[in-house]
């Protein structure tokens, strides 16, 4: 028998990527996760880019089914939460992964430092405002997790305040799950060495200067404290229905393929059906023919 040319996607095992990248319950040690690994994919960078493009028809089709369901009374939604250190590629995933989908079915929110008005309303208020409507795929570029990450590392609030937030986040996310939102939380995991290369690249290319912020170097100095804060969040807010996934992200092409594959598997699990006609098809054909 002729061997089929491998596309790079590891089809040997029955393991879904959702299972392979899921953070097990218990303490989290990010050193144990290799940020250059490519679980579920054993091909080259070029094959990885082709594999990503190849997801387009399928992911678009499932997205449209979910959208159609939402238009006909369904209430299910997906929320992709993207977290990671500067340059880990939250924007890149949206551009190259979510960019394969119909933008009408996406609701993308990029969270910056909260405004004073937002702060007064409690840290979850602006998050609730940004939740996707029925049938949509919401994407958060940063999220409520900043309130236990930078807020903790930078002492923006007192320890008892950020300490309480883990439980508040858990209750909030359980509420989301109960209301029909499938939450997919991805930590884009890069090494400090890879971050240095990416920041250097931004400084070396005048068309990327706008992406560089001197504050990025200050944050970089706090790498160990951020790692600790991420480990705490991944451990404490890793519910059965609201799990975390660690995406090895030193290879951009793998990161984009992996997150898009997680989305595709999530949509397939939801298995939205094309809505049935809520009108008499034959009668409508007659009415239309008469015009």
Residues that bind a second copy (CB under 8 A): 68, 71-72, 91, 94-95, 98-99, 101-104, 106, 108, 110, 141, 196, 199-200, 203, 206-207, 209-212, 214, 217, 220-221, 274-277, 279, 281, 284-285, 287-288, 291
Smallest distance, Å, CB 240 to a second copy?
31
CA 291 to CA 286: how far, in whole Å? 9
Comparison of 121 and 196: residue with beta carbon closer to a second copy = 196
Nearer to a second copy, 60 or 163 (CB): 60
Count of residues in the chain: 291
Instruction: Report the C-alpha gap between 195 and 182 in whole angstroms.
Output: 30
**Least distance from a second copy to the Cβ atom of residue 257, Å:** 18
Q: Closest distance between a second copy and the C-beta of residue 18, in Å? A: 23
State which residue, 240 or 276, has the beta carbon closest to a second copy. Answer: 276
Query: Quick one: 82 or 151, whose CB is closer to a second copy?
Result: 82
Provide the minimum distance between the beta carbon of 287 and a second copy in the complex, in angstroms, as a whole number.
5
> Minimum distance from CB of 164 to a second copy (Å)?
32
25: nearest Cα among 253, 236, 250: 236
CB of 22 to a second copy, least distance (A): 26
SS3 of 178, please?
helix
Handedness of CA 202, 206, 210, 216 (dihedral sign): positive
Q: Given the complex with a second copy, which of 107 and 119 has the nearer CB atom? A: 107
Residue 101 or 169: which CB sits closer to a second copy?
Answer: 101
Cα(291)–Cα(288) distance, integer angstroms: 5
Residue 74 three-state SS = coil
Helix ranges, the chain (H): 17-20, 45-54, 56-71, 90-96, 116-120, 125-129, 150-153, 159-178, 192-204, 215-221, 223-236, 252-270, 281-289
């Amino acid at each position: 028998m002729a061997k089929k040319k491998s596309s790079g996607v590891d089809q040997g095992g029955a393991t879904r990527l959702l299972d392979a990248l899921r953070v097990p319950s218990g303490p989290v040690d990010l050193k144990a996760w290799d940020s250059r690994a490519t679980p579920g994919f054993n091909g080259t960078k070029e094959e990885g880019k082709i594999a990503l493009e190849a997801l387009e028809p399928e992911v678009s089709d499932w997205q449209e089914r979910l959208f159609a369901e939402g238009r006909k009374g369904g209430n299910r939604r997906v929320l992709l939460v993207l977290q990671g250190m500067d340059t880990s590629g939250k924007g890149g995933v949206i551009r190259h992964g979510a960019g394969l989908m119909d933008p009408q079915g996406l609701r993308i929110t990029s969270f910056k430092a909260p405004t004073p008005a937002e702060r007064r309303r409690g840290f979850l208020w602006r998050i609730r405002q940004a939740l996707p409507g029925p049938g949509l795929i919401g994407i958060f570029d940063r999220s409520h997790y900043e309130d236990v990450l930078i807020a903790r590392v930078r002492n923006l609030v007192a320890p008892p305040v950020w300490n309480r937030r883990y439980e508040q986040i858990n209750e909030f996310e359980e509420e989301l799950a109960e209301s029909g939102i499938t939450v997919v939380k991805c930590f884009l995991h890069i090494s400090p060495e890879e971050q240095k290369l990416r920041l250097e690249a931004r400084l070396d290319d005048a068309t990327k200067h706008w992406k560089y912020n001197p504050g990025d170097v200050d944050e970089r100095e706090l790498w160990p404290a951020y790692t600790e804060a991420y480990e705490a969040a991944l451990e404490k807010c890793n519910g059965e229905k609201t799990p975390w996934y660690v995406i090895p992200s030193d290879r951009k092409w793998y990161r984009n393929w992996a997150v898009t594959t997680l989305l595709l598997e999530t949509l397939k699990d939801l298995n939205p059906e094309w809505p049935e006609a809520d009108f008499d098809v034959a009668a409508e054909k007659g009415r239309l023919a008469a015009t």
